[in-house]
Every structure is written in C-alpha cells, then in structure tokens.
Structure 1
C-alpha cells in the first residue's frame, strides 16, 4: 500500500469500463495523455501490464481483468467509508424523505417533530407510500426510509425500530352478518373473502394482510378496499387506529381476537443508509412504542 495513489485506481476503473482512453479522460476531467500517465504509473507499481492497447482496440489483460474484478467492490466500499465519515463530520443536514403507509397520524408527526428539533439543518419531506406497493419507493430511492406495515422479508431492506402494535379489526358492510357483533375469533374469518392488496406488493405480504383462502378482490389503495367493503364485496383487515380514522357510516369495524397484531416498522435500503436515516430511526424509536403508533392498513 506504500505510495498508493487513489487517482491511479480511479483512472484504471474508468478505463476498464470505457475501454477507451479518450472517454476515460472525459469521465475523470483529465486529458487522454494524463490517463496514459496514470495507467503507466499503476502498472509500474504493480509490475505488470493491466491494459493492452493497439491502434484498433483497448482491452484488459488477464491480470487486468482479475484486478478490476477485485478492485471495483473494494473501491466502492472505500468510497462509502469516506462518505459516512463526511456525513458524521458535517452532522445531519440536507434533506430526508420519509414515506408512510396508511395515515400520518400524531405519533408519526411526533417523531418528525423530534427529528426536526434535534436536526434543524435537515429538511423533512413526507411522502405517502401506495398501499399496494409498500417497498417500491424505498427500493427505487424515491424515499430514504418508510414506515410500512410488516412483515418485511426483502433482503435488500433493513428493518429498523417498530413503530406500532395494534389489534386487528375486520371492516364489513353494515349489511354483513358480522356487523352486529362486538368481536370475532380468527376461525370465523376462514370463510370470509378478505380484500387484499394488488401487485406489486409481494405475495407473502398480501397473504399476511388477508389470511383467507376465499377468493376476493385485490385493490391498489385503501380507499378502493373500503369502497368494496361498503358494497359488500368482501371484508378487510385493518388495525384499530386506521379503522377509527376511516370511520364511515356504511362500514362497521369489528375487533378480531386470535390473529397477529398489526405492526409497523421503519425500513430503508441497505445501500442507502446514511447518518440522516440513522438519526430519524432514533427519533422513531423514541416516539413509537409496541402498544401505540402511527396508523396503517
């Protein structure tokens, strides 16, 4: 590692991807001759040729191919380490985009308020996450983190603090036989068509929200689901805060015993974890609890 020049490595990586000295120079904002100089210095440091250049083509030598395959992930990790150190040195600033699924209620707003007080230099944006696509915004980078309904089994996502644990209720039409009940057991839902989310929500997530073998419509939004419930086209499992928030005269919400509670969690992409995300996770952990929290379907 003695005397290693990062610029030489950057030059080699650009050349390995472009296979053209001129384009590599454009990427690095240096001249073509400077690319040749940096490559020559790196090859001298290693003691072997990494690139073969003729009048007609540029290609990596076998050693160059192996070196590129090992260098690229190592350089990316090094860049991440530097980026994280820079964020820590600067503190939490800039902008953070937070997604929410369901209802941005008082508990979520408490977490955001706490975060803003701790980090006034960071602007918080709130984005609603589609009911039928709980993880898409995080995977695509549209939000930095999102509070979504569990479970989460996406390998590229990190599950942070849990934000809510609430009893489930079943939404039924006022004309439904269950409408007059004060509570239901899990076994009684076995023969009830439960409205679920449509794709692209993953199958395991859809099944967790609608654990019934009876065919029922799939919807993209929560409002679509409640409209079908009111039309007596099926029932829908919702946590208690969501049921209270979306109360309507043509739908009854009946508590259900014996089914897992509805739980929300903060998730973010494994490759997108920043000091801002970690700071917001701490605010969520302080504002939420296992017994009360934000609302979601």
Structure 2
C-alpha cells in the first residue's frame, strides 16, 4: 500500500474480505492468514490513507463511512481483475470438463446454478451437473467420489470431508403447526423448544449438525420432547402440517416451503444456520477450485 490507496492485490483482498465478514477471525480463516496479518494490513492502510476504515470494539467490527466508500470503489475493480486472472489461468491450464455439485436446500441449489451460469460464461468448455443431497446420507456421494463439491450446512467435522468458505449465514426459524400457540408469536426463543416435540432425522447427520438443529435440551437444561423421525425432507413438511411436531429451519424456508397447516416463526436467539462448500479431504482439481471462487464472488 502507498499513500492514498492500495498497491498489493493481497492487501485489497484482505480489506474487502473484512468489509464483508466484519470479523477478524473469520476473515483470517477465509483467506488462510493469521488474524494478526489482517490487523496489520488494516492498520497500515488506515495510517497511509489517513483515517479509520473500521470501527472496532471488543464485540463488533463496523465499516466507517470512509471504509464504505473505499469498499464500493475497490470492489468492481477487484472483481474485474480477478476475472481477468481467472480467464488467463483457464487459458494456460485448459480449464474444462464436467463438475458434479451437490446441494442440500433449494437456496443452495439457486446459488450453485447461478455459479454454473457464470462458470459457463467464463469457461465455455465447462459443464456443471447438480444433484440434491438427502439428509439420510449427507456425505455419502461426496465420499464415494460421485460428487466433486457440495453446498450444505456447517459445521461438518466429518473424517474425509474438508470445509471450505461459508457462503450463507441464515437466521433460524421454527416451523410449527399453524394451530400451535407458538405460531401466533412474533418470535420464539430456544427455551420455547421445550413446548413442542422436535422432529428428528432417523440417522446420517453428524453430531455437530444434529446437536445444532435437533438439540435434546434447551440452553437452560429443559428437555425438548422427541417428535417423529424422518428420512427425506418432504416428510418434515407433512409431519408439521399434521400437527405432530416442529422443526428448526432457515428463515428463508418460508419462501420455499410455505403450505397450508404450517407457520414459520423466527428465533429471537440462538445461532445462525450456515451453509458452505465441502469437498473431499483428498483435494480438488483446478476446475472445482475455480467454481468455489465463483461461489465466493456471488455470495
């Protein structure tokens, strides 16, 4: 960096990533650098630009108006540079072939198909085939080599699977029968889960996801009633509509799965539902990593 602007592309990437994540740790993890490296780059930029780019407290990180203007000015140019580099790499390495991508939700499918369209535009020799992942076998196709990449819920922490970047962070909602008392509230809390049976997967999900989406106790230790089990996602909609239980979902599920007999009530507390890219721990080819870069751009 020099007075009044950026010179090193990596420093620009760090600034733009922090402007999006608003978290030093997540930015460092995403770019595979240390948090101290992120802090050093930002402090150096602020000194040389002559003003603060971020407001930092012990709990939050926010862009200043100066930081917002810099982000808005840099982002289009950075995207154009990255695309030019991608095209050069594709030409040099001959990026082409078929990429098999799995997804666990309709909104993950939307993102995968948008990325496929961009990839085909940049690299006409590429073909992307998509496939829905079932909850009873969330990583089987990936581990068997039937898929190259997968977009689904985090965290995974499963042997043989590598977690890539987070693409979506979604507020959670409780999907309940429309005639249940909770359906008429503006929001629910994690403690409200003690008041309704929670529908559960009949197997396949790793403990990290099962504990997050199907807890057995509330934060205060109250037991959560065990509702019926399911194998495939459409069963959950039918079970909830029949009044047999509730399910924790991403809030945007209301736009995709609304039907008579079901209500979606947002949580006022609790973690988000995060979705990201997964690939086999054995590694990936250039085409797959190029597709991941496109996904990150689109998010």
Whether the TM-score (by the shorter chain) exceeds 0.5 is yes
1:142 corresponds to: 146
Q: Aligned match of 1:280 in 257, 273, 291? A: 291
- CA distance in structure 2 between the partners assigned to 1:211 and 1:89 by the alignment: 50
Q: Flag as ranges the 4+ runs of structure 1 deviating above 4 A.
A: none
1:221 corresponds to: 232
- CA distance in structure 2 between the partners assigned to 1:196 and 1:287 by the alignment: 32
- CA distance in structure 1 between the partners assigned to 2:118 and 2:271 by the alignment: 30
Deviation (angstroms), 1:167: 0.7
| 1:95 aligned onto 2:106 | no
Deviation (angstroms), 1:272: 4.2
Deviation (angstroms), 1:258: 0.9
Matches within 5 A, 1:1-297: 90-104=93-107, 106-212=110-216, 213-288=224-299
1:36 corresponds to: none
Alpha-carbon displacement from aligned partner over 1:21-59 (angstroms, at most 9, x marks no partner) = xxxxxxxxxxxxxxxxxxxxxxxxxxxxxxxxxxxxxxx
**Structure possessing the higher relative contact order (Cα contacts under 8 Å, 6 or more residues apart):** 1
Alpha-carbon displacement from aligned partner over 1:56-84 (angstroms, at most 9, x marks no partner) = xxxxxxxxxxxxxxxxxxxxxxxxxxxxx
> Cα–Cα, structure 1 residues 209 and 88, in superposed 2: closer, same or farther, change >3 Å?
farther
Question: Is 193-202 or 266-275 further displaced after alignment?
Answer: 193-202
Alpha-carbon displacement from aligned partner over 1:1-26 (angstroms, at most 9, x marks no partner) = xxxxxxxxxxxxxxxxxxxxxxxxxx
> What's the TM-score, normalizing by structure 1?
0.64
Deviation (angstroms), 1:147: 0.3
For 2:225, what is the secondary structure of its paired residue?
coil
Alignment RMSD, CA only?
1.8
1:78 corresponds to: none
- CA distance in structure 2 between the partners assigned to 1:97 and 1:199 by the alignment: 25
Whose Rg is larger?
A: 1
Alpha-carbon displacement from aligned partner over 1:200-221 (angstroms, at most 9, x marks no partner) = 2223322221123421222112
Q: Quick check: 2:173–2:248 contact (8 Å CA) kept in 1?
A: yes
Deviation (angstroms), 1:160: 1.2
- CA distance in structure 2 between the partners assigned to 1:165 and 1:95 by the alignment: 28
- CA distance in structure 1 between the partners assigned to 2:213 and 2:119 by the alignment: 30
Q: Quick check: 2:154–2:274 contact (8 Å CA) kept in 1?
A: yes
Gaps of 5+ in 2: 1-89, 217-223
Deviation (angstroms), 1:196: 2.1
> Cα–Cα, structure 1 residues 114 and 152, in superposed 2: closer, same or farther, change >3 Å?
same
Q: Quick check: 1:195–1:217 contact (8 Å CA) kept in 2?
A: yes
> What's the TM-score, normalizing by structure 2?
0.64
- CA distance in structure 2 between the partners assigned to 1:124 and 1:108 by the alignment: 9
For 1:253, what is the secondary structure of its paired residue?
strand
1:45 corresponds to: none
How many residues end up aligned between the 2 structures?
Answer: 202
> Cα–Cα, structure 1 residues 218 and 203, in superposed 2: closer, same or farther, change >3 Å?
farther
